[in-house]
Amino acid sequence: MSETSQGVVTLGGQLRDTALIPVAARLARAVEGVVDVECHFRGVGRDEAERTP
């Protein structure tokens, strides 16, 4: 999920690898016009990750 309001990007969703959160934030910040990035990710547990396509 992503939303933008007045140059502030909000990213969220489920990630199997939470080490990717800073990568996603850096990519969003690199977009022209973005002034801030808020991350609202949730890591999924092993059992849940196996059920997620």
Residue 53 CA to residue 11 CA, distance in Å, equals 20
Give me the residue spans of the domains in the chain: 2-51
Report the DSSP pairing between strands 36-43 and 2-5. unpaired
Place of tokens 């990717």: 20
Q: pLDDT tens for residues 13-25? A: 998 888 989 999 9
Query: How do residues 7-53 score in pLDDT, each as one tens digit?
Result: 999 999 998 888 989 999 999 999 999 999 999 998 886 655 445 44
pTM score: 0.70
